[in-house]
Amino acid sequence: MTEGWSRWPAPAKLNLFLHIVGRRADGYHLLQTVFQLLDWGDSVRLRPRQDGVIARLEGLADVLPEQDLAVRAALALRPRAGSELGADIAIEKHIPVGGGLGGGSSDAATVLLALNEIWRLQLSVDELAEIALPLGADVPLFVRGKSAWAEGIGEQLTPIDLPSRSYVVVDPRVHVPTGQLFQASELTRNTPRLTISGFLGGVETANVFAPVVRARFPQVAAALEWLSKFGDARLSGSGGCVFVGVESVEHARRIASECPAEFKAYCAQGVARSPLLDALREYRAKK
């Protein structure tokens, strides 16, 4: 398997809520959120090379390889591997770009974890998470591979047991630039802090970016309005995608089948453990 291509999942995530509770001295916003991992996402194929080259053979055409988080992840890991090891990378994208579902971060984490196995580096999860953080605040979540309560800039993670839910995720087909939202003057930056027990006990939560996105991106507002007919529809992260949780896959599929043509709907199951961890276990068993 290590002599040819191997295929690895890169799951999406939802932010079940997202509060900003303050700012650090360096200007970074302090968050509280819950990351719900999904059983659906991108697919990453990897093939080892012996010439030290990191090459992206498939991916987003409008993202330069040197700006691709998956490529940057491989380059960040390569010093641990020596100069002779490289990799070909091919990414099959399903997660909408700019949707707040963590697609680029998940692709990067998958590359880190899978190349750690393919290159036989034997780095620990903690070591990989340390490499992951400079790539993006969400990347350690996908490296650790468990749905989690998050604080700090999103990197302080506590695994959390969440009720089993199916989700309808709707893409309004709008790219929402995160940086623009964080700079918005109307953004709420002083939400009172919550506790995990408070969240699990039903304390009211929201996504502080939702009012900003609604006002600036009418297509997202329209998607939220439509999806709200079926439950508590919410924005995920600081992106454009919206979601609603329901009790069964069948219910999710019925809602998705009614999705207006201007949007695109996906069905997914919330999972406590990333499917990538199962893929890693199966890979080790075959070696």
Give the Cα separation of 6 and 110 in Å (integer): 12
Task: Point out the residues that are catalytic.
Answer: 13, 138
CA-nearest of 156, 152, 124 to 140 is: 156
125: tokens are 């999860």
CA-angle at 247, arms to 37 and 166, nearest 5°: 25
CA torsion, ordered 28, 155, 240, 206, to nearest 10 deg? -90
CA torsion, ordered 104, 20, 157, 242, to nearest 10 deg? -50
Which residue has 């609603």 as its token pair? 244
CA-angle at 144, arms to 130 and 248, nearest 5°: 150
Give the Cα separation of 141 and 12 in Å (integer): 11
Give the Cα separation of 102 and 62 in Å (integer): 18
* Secondary structure class of 45 (helix, strand, coil): strand
Which residue has 């780095």 as its token pair? 123
Q: What share of the chain is helix, strand, coil (3-state, %, to 5)?
A: 35, 30, 35
φ and ψ of 274, to 5 deg: -65, 140
